[in-house]
Structure 1
Amino acid sequence: MNVVCIGAGYVGSVTGTAFAAIGHQTTIIDIDPKKIEQLNGGKSPIYEPGMEQLLPALIGKNLFATTSFEAVAEAHVVFIAVGTPSKEDGTADLGYIKLAAQKIGRELSKDRFTVIVNKSTVPVGTTELVASLIEEASGFEADEHFTVVSNPEFLREGYALEDVFFPDRIVVGTSSPQGLQVMRELYHNLIERVGYDQLSERLPFLCDRQTPKAIYFETDPKSAELIKYAANAFLAVKISYINEMARLCEVLGGNVLAVAEGMGLDTRIGKKFLQVSSGWSGSCFPKDTAELLATSQKYGSEMMVVKAAVASNESMHMYVVEKVIRQLQSLNGKRIGILGLTFKPDTDDARKTQAAAIIQKLVELGASVSVHDPQGMAMFQSLNSHLPIVYCHEPLDTGTRADAVILLTHWQEYQELDWAAMHSLMRRPYVLDTRNFLDSARLKAIGFAYEGLGLATNSLTLAGDGVMGG
């Protein structure tokens, strides 16, 4: 098929590249010429493992990138994968969606039936909105010359290519028989894993034949639109729950790692998303919970559980700051190092991260903050230019004369860091590990006062000079 992906961000660039890899003639369109230039040079506009291995062999052959919408006229399927940021009231800003719909409408051809796919996370009713906008711009009638389908994405940043090639489910929402047929044909190669052998040299994970085939689920457009919001909000609730349990463990002397493991053994619960952190963040959970909550309130059916999860998450960010205050007392004049700015490892996405909220509070309390992240510093700085912080090229530099180092993102390189060297650099060797990720026994043996979240074994007595109280 001829496939067009509008948007060269985390969803569009990965989706377009994957469809090209399995044989579809694919064009990625974006209004940002810099992203298009990167793609045409065989480079990914976003950091995502595997993209740099795939792109050079595809670009210019059956993968193309452009700022022009002309390719829409020849497309069988057009994906809309643009941003839907939150407005001040929590609802999704559909400005980019509307612009894409209007541009698609101007380029549609009567010579072929075109399926327009909402891949972006959008509020209920957006399928109908996009259809009406395309009708206005094209003069064509929905379901006669084109149809609009809801096909929400379920990609995890850092594992996005794996999630495209090995999805656990594909959700398609449409009432159009012709639209359903086109979507079935489009996803056939992914579901049946056609062409994976030829790609496995570049992407070794494609050799995996144990992963079950995707469940292909068809429903109506409104239900499909709700599924993505419902899933993300549920996961946010689950994370907020285990984070609150970590706080209770600290009060009662329990160990949240054991509690989470025991909970996860219950097949009704499962062990995923029971990892403690300084709070959920990133480009999806904050935005999607805000939209779902705002919509539920607007229509008089407030989702109180989601509302509580949002409040709990905000308090978790501040709980991390409170733990530092308990150890250092006043933060005025203190130096604090931050390891990790992205909301998770293996991505450069630093939008709406827990780091932004925590660093903001530390700065307000008078601390000097130095930060490091392997991939996310450029984006974090562009989004948080108001924060007077020091960006370090090396992670060890965050510890120079520091009174505390806080690990916020569990990048593998932080586990492999020369912590003995870090100890020698710090003024007070205190480490707060908000992911319970580091080797606590090793750090304590070096002489660190190590503290995690929800651990009964938290010990803050320094070996040696006792700079800090126990």
Structure 2
Amino acid sequence: MNIVCIGSGYVGSVTGTAFAVLGHKTTVIDINQQKVDLMNSGKSPIFEPGLDELINKYIGNTLSATTSYKVVNDADVIFIGVGTPSKEDGTADLKYIKLAAKSIGENLNPNRFTVIIDKSTVPLGTGDLVSSIITEVSGLEVEKDFAVVSNPEFLREGYALEDVFYPDRVVIGTTNEKAKIVMRELYSNLIERANYEELSKDFVFDYNENAPKTIYFETDIKSAEMIKYASNAFLAVKISYINEIARLSETLGANVLDVAKGMGLDSRIGSKFLQVSSGWSGSCFPKDTAELLVTSQKYGNELSIVKAAVESNERMHHFCVEKVHRELKSLNGKNIGVLGLTFKPNTDDARKTQASTIIKKLIDLGANVKVHDPQGMDMFKSLNPDLEIQYVESPEQVAVNADALVLLTHWDQYLNLNWEQVYNLMRNPFILDTRNFLRELPLSSLGFNYEGIGIGIKEQVKNKQPLFI
């Protein structure tokens, strides 16, 4: 098929590249010439492990990039993968969706049936909005000349390529029979994993012939739109819950690591998203929970559980600051080093991260803050220009004369630091590990005052395993 992906951001670049790898002629459209030039030179416009290599191999073959919407005229399928940032009231700003729909309408071919796919995370009813804009601009008839489909993305940053080639499920929202046929054909190579053993030689992950079969699920467009929001909100609730259990465990002397492991052994609960942190953040959960919550309130059906999860998450950010405050007493003039600015490892995404909230609170309490992140410092600085912090090039520099180190993002680089050197650089060897990531290191024997979250005891019993599996 001829595929067009509008937007070269996280969704568009990964989706477009994946379908090019699967043999479809794919063109990525972006109004940013610099991003287009990057792709056409074989480089990824975003940081995602393995994406550079795939773009470099397929660009000029089945993959290309342009700023022109003229390629829409030849498209069988058009993905809309533009940003949907939050407004001040928490609702999604659809200005980029509307611009994309208008441009599609201006270039749509009246002589072929085209499927337009909302791939971005969009509020319920966006499919109808896109349809009406294209109808008005093009003069064509929806459901007859074109159809709009919801096909939400479920990509984890840092693992996006594995997720796009081995998804748990593919959700398709449409009642148009012609669109269903197109979508089934579009995804057939992915569902059947056609030629994966050969293709996977270019992947950053191993070919897995025993991976669970991808479930292809068809529903109506509004239900598909809701599935994305409901899924992210549920995961946010789950993270907030285990973080609350961590706070209570710390108070009562229990070990949340064992609590979470014991919970996860229950197949009804599962072990995923039971990892303690300083709170969920990033470009998806805060935005999606806010949109869903505001919508529920607007229509008189407030999602009280989602509301509680949002409030609990904010409490977790402050809880981490309180732990530093409790250790150092007054923070006036204290030097705090922060390791990690992105919401998770293996991404440069520093949008709406826990780091911005925690660092601001530390500064408000009088602390001097140094920060390091392997990939996210440029984005974090551009998004938080008013934060008076010092950006350093190595994690060791964060430790110089520090009264405390706070680990927020569990990059492998931090696990492999020369911790003896770090100890000698610090003024006061206190470490707050908000991910319980460094707990297996012999930090106490080096002289560090180490604290995790929800551990409840100073010295950990390492490598606990169940007696019977």
Matching of residue 278 in structure 1 with residue 278 in structure 2: yes
Aligned 1:127-206 pairs, distance under 5 A = 127-203=127-203, 205-206=205-206
Q: Secondary structure at the match of 2:287?
A: helix
Could you tell me whether the CA contact under 8 Å between 2:251 and 2:456 is conserved in 1?
no
The offset of 1:17, in angstroms, is 0.3
Q: Letter of the aligned partner of 1:123 in structure 2?
A: P
8 Å Cα contact 1:197-1:206 kept in structure 2:
no
Contact 1:7/1:29 (CA < 8 Å) preserved in 2? yes
1:367 aligns with 2:367: yes
Q: How far apart in 2 are the matches of 1:204 and 1:445? A: 37
Contact 2:264 2:272 in 1 (8 A): yes
Higher mean C-alpha displacement, 346-355 vs 189-198? 189-198
The AA in structure 1 aligned to 2:271 is K
Task: Map residues 8-407 of structure 1 onto 2, 5 A cutoff.
Answer: 8-203=8-203, 205-407=205-407
| SS class of match (1:277) | coil
Shift of 1:85: 0.7
Q: Verify the 8 A CA contact 2:439 2:452 in the aligned structure 1.
A: no
Query: TM-score, structure 1 length as denominator?
Result: 0.97
Query: CA-to-partner distance for each residue in 1:207-229, whole Å, 9 max, x for gaps?
Result: 21111121000000010000000
Deviates more, 1:202-211 or 1:365-374: 202-211
Q: Could you tell me how far apart the structure 1 residues matched to 2:206 and 2:99 are? A: 36
Cα gap change, 1:376 to 1:441, in 2 (>3 Å): closer
Partner residue, 2:432 = 432
Cα distance in 2, alignment partners of residues 122 and 204 from structure 1: 30
- Root-mean-square deviation (Å): 1.0
Question: Displacement, 1:110?
Answer: 1.1
Q: Which amino acid aligns with 1:76?
A: D
CA distance in 1, matches of 2:343, 2:439: 21
Give the counterpart letter for 2:362 in structure 1: L
SS at match of 1:432: strand
Shift of 1:118: 0.2
How far did residue 459 of structure 1 move?
6.3
Q: Which moved more, 1:56-65 or 1:305-314?
A: 56-65
- The structural deviation recorded for 1:441 is 4.8
Q: In the aligned structure 2, how far is the partner of 1:280 from the partner of 1:139?
A: 44
On the 8 A contact 1:85/1:93 being kept in 2, the answer is yes
Using the TM superposition, give the Cα deviation of residue 365 of structure 1 relative to its aligned residue in structure 2, in angstroms.
Answer: 0.9
CA distance in 2, matches of 1:83, 1:100: 11
The answer as to whether partners of 2:49 and 2:204 remain within 8 angstroms in 1 is no
Conservation of the 8 A alpha-carbon contact between 1:340 and 1:411 = yes
What SS does the aligned partner of 1:205 have?
A: coil
What is the CA deviation profile of residues 407-435 of structure 1, one whole-angstrom value per residue up to 9, with x for unaligned ones? 00000111011111100000000000000
The C-alpha deviation readout for 1:377-398, integer Å capped at 9, x for no partner, is: 1111110111111111101100
SS at match of 2:117: strand
Distance (whole Å) between structure 2 residues aligned to residue 338 and residue 211 of structure 1: 38
8 A contact 1:345–1:410 mirrored in 2: yes
d(CA) in 1 for partners of 2:168, 2:269 = 18
Assess if the C-alpha contact under 8 Å between 1:255 and 1:456 holds in 2: yes
Length-normalised TM-score, structure 2: 0.97
Uncovered stretches (5+) of structure 2, i.e. residues with no partner: 461-469
1:348-388 per-position Cα deviation (integer Å, ceiling 9, x unaligned): 10000000100011111111111011111111111011111
Query: For residue 419 of structure 1, what is the aligned residue in structure 2?
Result: 419
User: Offset at 1:37?
Assistant: 1.1
How far does residue 103 in structure 1 lie from its aligned partner after superposition? 0.4
SS of 2:202's partner is: coil
Report the Cα distance in structure 1 between the residues aligned to 2:446 and 2:144, rounded to whole angstroms: 71
Cα distance in 1, alignment partners of residues 206 and 215 from structure 2: 18
| Aligned residue identity for 2:324 | V
TM-superposed deviation, 1:456: 2.0
Whether the aligned pair in 2 keeps the contact of 1:449 and 1:459 (CA below 8 Å) is no
Distance 1:184 1:216 in 2: 9
Residue 466 (structure 1) aligns with:
none
- C-alpha separation between the residues in 2 aligned to 1:14 and 1:127? 22
Q: Does 1:454 align with 2:422?
A: no
**Change over 3 Å in CA distance of 1:153–1:365 after alignment to 2:** same
Q: How many residues align?
A: 460
Aligned counterparts of 1:323 and 1:459: Cα–Cα separation in 2: 18
Hey, which bits of structure 1, 4+ residues long, moved more than 6 A?
none
Query: How far apart in 2 are the matches of 1:53 and 1:198?
Result: 15
CA distance in 2, matches of 1:445, 1:272: 32
Q: Could you say which residue in structure 1 is the equivalent of 2:7?
A: 7
Q: Do the aligned partners of residues 204 and 414 (structure 1) sit closer, same or farther apart at CA in structure 2, a change above 3 Å counting?
A: closer
Which digits, 9 at most, give the CA deviation of each residue in 1:76-108, with x for residues without a partner? 000000111111111111111000000000000
* 3-state secondary structure, aligned to 1:217: strand
Q: What is the SS of the residue equivalent to 2:91?
A: coil
Residues 196 and 206 in structure 1, CA contact (< 8 A), matched pair in contact too? no
